[in-house]
Homo-oligomer: A and B are copies of this chain.
Amino acid sequence: MTSGQHNDNLPGKKEKREPASRPDHSLPEDEKMGVYHAIYTRRDIRREFLPDPIPMETVLRLLKAAHHAPSVGFMQPWNFILIEKDEIRRELKRVVDKERQAAAIVFESPRSEKFLSLKVDAILDAPLLIAVTIDPAREGPFVLGRLSDQDTDLYSASCAIMNLWLAARAEGIGMGWVTIFRREDVQGILNLPYHVRPIGILCLGYVREFPRRPMLETEDWAYRQPLSKHVFVDGWNRQEGTLWESMSPGLDRREEWPWEL
């Protein structure tokens, strides 16, 4: 906090609107909108990837964005395993399909048929396939924060995936995060040490379009809930008091952005 350097002294048309007393560290207006634009229009893409390869410089930007995620105790628990061999891709598709069949049985009809109709051809079709793993032993047994919560590696790796996802959206690249597999199956295929856990297979590629609505909505599987159901004040289920009164009228109000649905 002593350097006196600013991070955001970039060229850009900044609308200054803060009183002089407080430094304004907000990003220039266009850049700020870019963050919301990426957040609101990011989609989980599972099919219809275009075959165009992603340029290597873009792949590197995505990986670096992921690596700049926060991690509890700075443990950086993630690894990114890019899949090059078609044989490994087919093996991953096979174990995902196996798990889909198993899940469909548990869902029972008619949810079961609906579930099986949600294809994950992306694993074969996406030009870029990345398995993300976490190594809970990284940085030794006593990682700051991990003593109190054994799942902090999951939080951190999820943040890395989210960074990658938003960067991909900014680059016009669609992504799907596939979690339907047995850990042991993927461990076997990728030769992971026993303690290293795969948490996702990311499918990436250019797309003809980014659907306006999430796929699970258009497929009538589930819907975005009103935000007001998810916000409380001072305790579970508590929706009262001054803060609540001032906040609640805005929770389900749309922003003026054309991206929001």
Q: Contact residues of A with B, CB < 8 Å?
A: 1, 3-10, 12, 22-28, 30-42, 44, 48, 50, 52, 56-57, 59-61, 63-65, 67-70, 72-76, 78-85, 88, 99, 102-103, 106-107, 111, 115, 118, 133, 139, 142, 144-145, 147-149, 151-152, 154-156, 158-159, 161-163, 165-167, 169-172, 177, 179-183, 190-193, 196, 199-200, 206-212, 214, 216-217, 221-225, 227, 230-238, 241-243, 246-247, 250-251, 253, 255, 258-259
Flag if A39 contacts B27 (CB, 8 Å).
no
Flag if B154 contacts A7 (CB, 8 Å).
no
Q: With contacts A84-B242, A230-B78 known, is A158 near B154, CB below 8 A?
A: yes
Among A25, A76, A166, A255: residue with most chain B CB under 10 A:
A25
| Minimum distance in angstroms from A156 CB to a CB of chain B | 8
Flag if B30 contacts A34 (CB, 8 Å).
yes
Flag if B38 contacts A35 (CB, 8 Å).
yes
Q: With contacts A76-B224, A236-B193, A247-B60 known, is A208 near B148, CB below 8 A?
A: no
Q: Residues of B contacting A72 with CB < 8 Å?
A: 177, 179
Residue from B27, B145, B165, B235 in contact with A191 in the complex, judged by beta carbons closer than 8 Å:
B235
Among A24, A151, A155: residue with most chain B CB under 10 A:
A155
Q: Residues of B contacting A144 with CB < 8 Å?
A: 103, 115, 118, 216, 221-222
